[in-house]
Structure 1
């Protein structure tokens, strides 16, 4: 079920599409959830961050507590989330390097001093 909702509708087989329609017809909460997930996916993939406030309002109108928690988290840093969904710049490469260095640091903890850790970080890039 989760895969069906998270997949692009055209990526589902005809049988899966029919099964999903049947389940969504029987459960209005799940239908609302699927609509919000697909709407957010469109905002995310098409870089339409300016639509985020209207998406948040739509989520709050439905009785879906889990999505309300997500909406509250997004609201805490709304400007940054909108920028991330709108702008083409990304800090993904930097975050990847930070993650790699933290992993090396964890592996080396208690085993060697700073000199060996420094050498390993420099040689691993």
Structure 2
């Protein structure tokens, strides 16, 4: 099968998976997850983006603490 320019991203992904094989295996087999932490980080970033340029750290802190 000839290589095309379209396969370059796929080869790059495969190379990265091979380099991080232990981490990929752990992520697919272990029971624990960092999903909850990542969700909170995403929520804080959204709140920060929404308030960009409007107020200081005190208001940002209050919004994060009071947000659902």
Q: TM-score, normalised by structure 1?
A: 0.46
Deviations 1:40-82 (A, max 9, x none): xxxxxxxxxxxxxxxxxxxxxxx68343222112123221111
Equivalent residue pairs, number: 64
CA deviations on 1:69-115 (whole Å, 9 max, x unpaired) are 22112123221111001111111111000000011111111100111
Give the whole-Å Cα distance in 2 for the aligned partners of 1:99 and 1:91.
12
| Counterpart Cα distance in 2 of 1:119 and 1:111 | 14
Root-mean-square deviation (CA, aligned residues, Å) is 1.9
Query: Which ranges of structure 2 fall in alignment gaps of 5 or more residues?
Result: none
TM-score when scaled to structure 2? Answer: 0.79
Equivalent position of 1:87 in the other structure: 30
Moved over 6 A (4+): none
Aligned to 2:57: 114
- Structure with more of its chain in helix, by fraction: 1
